[in-house]
Every structure is written in C-alpha cells, then in structure tokens.
Amino acid sequence: MLTPRRMKNPKADPHIEIKAIYAEVERRPLPRQCAMRTGCCHFRLAGHTPLLTRGEALYAAQGVRASGRKALKPHPDGACPLLGRDGRCTIYTHRPFGCRTHFCAEAGGMYPRKHVADLIQRLEALDEQLGGSGSRPLEAAVSAALAEK
Ligand code: SF4
C-alpha cells in the first residue's frame, strides 16, 4: 500500500495517491446497492454537502477540465454543480471520497467511519503535504482548485 509518508514527491503528482485511495475504497467489502437516484447529490434534500480535502479537489478539478469546463455553474435545483442535466455525475470517475462512501438508506447507508478511517487519514495527510487547510465544501474546494491554473 502506498502511504503518503512513502511517497517520494506527492506534490509532483498528488493524483497518484488520490487514485490509490479511491481504488482502495472500491476493494473494501462493503456491499451497497446504489440505484443512481442521486438523492445524495441534491444537497438541500440530503441535508449535507460533501467536504473535500485539497487532493480530492485537485483531482475533481481535473475531471471538470476533462469535461471541457473551466468553472462551476450553480445547478438550477440547488444540487451539486457537478450533477448533469441528465441526472448523472459529470465527473463520475473523479468524484470525491464522500461520494464514494456516503450512500442513502435505500442503498445501504453510509460507510461506517471505522471501515475507512485509515483512508481518511491518508486524505488528511495528503492535504497537509499539499498545503491545504482541511476539508472544504465541494463547490468552494473545486472552484478554488480550478482557479489555480
Ligand atoms: S460530485 Fe458527482 S456524485 Fe458527488 S455529489 Fe456531485 S454530482 Fe453527486
């Protein structure tokens, strides 16, 4: 397992560690049945907004750029600005950690923290190495990352 301490130069490509963390989430044996209802993407209805560390925000921004956008536009329904008009996530492969671990009750519920605590620590360690200041709400975090280049 690649840990931040063993990374030679995380600033050179922080996406390597983020991808490793996301791949590890996929390997965790926690069955969930997401029916893509996107209720969790409607922040007002869900009552929560994903919080992103700096590495997650940089990776999500890469996904936004890959889709041809340079900035986020508010969603007309007040949902996540990355939710497409077709009801699908526009950066699915680049979606943040919270979107990979927070499921609605119908899908089986949120991942218990104890099952992913080590991965959260890796995200926090990377955040520190990248000069981040902790987790920030999705829109602010991704907008700041997009404004960097
Ligand atoms: S990033 Fe994608 S999966 Fe996460 S809340 Fe936004 S639209 Fe939903």
CA of 125 to the centre of ligand 1 (A): 23
Q: What is the pLDDT of residue 9?
A: 59
The rounded Cα 39 to chain-centroid distance in angstroms is: 16
Nearest protein CA to atom 5 of ligand 1, as residue: 41
Of the residues 32, 34, 41, which should be mutated to test ligand 1's pocket, given the most ligand atoms within 8 Å of the CB?
41
Separation CA 132–CA 22 (nearest Å): 19
Ligand 1 atom nearest 50 alpha carbon: 5
Cβ 10 under 6 angstroms from ligand 1: no
| 73 burial type by CB count under 10 A (0-12 exposed, 13-18 middle, 19+ buried) | exposed
Cβ 99 under 6 angstroms from ligand 1: yes
CA of 17 to the centre of ligand 1 (A): 20
What are the angstrom distances between the C-alpha of 10 and each of 16, 31, 45, 116, 149? 8, 31, 37, 21, 18
**Domain boundaries defined on the chain:** 14-22+34-146
CA of 149 to the centre of ligand 1 (A): 22
Beta-carbon contacts of residue 38 (< 8 Å; ≥ 6 apart): 79, 83, 87, 88, 89
Separation CA 72–CA 76 (nearest Å): 12
Q: What is the residue-level pLDDT of the chain in tens, covering all 149 positions?
A: 344 444 445 556 889 999 999 999 999 877 888 777 788 898 888 888 999 999 999 999 999 999 999 999 999 888 999 999 898 999 999 999 999 998 878 878 888 888 999 999 999 999 999 999 999 999 999 999 999 96
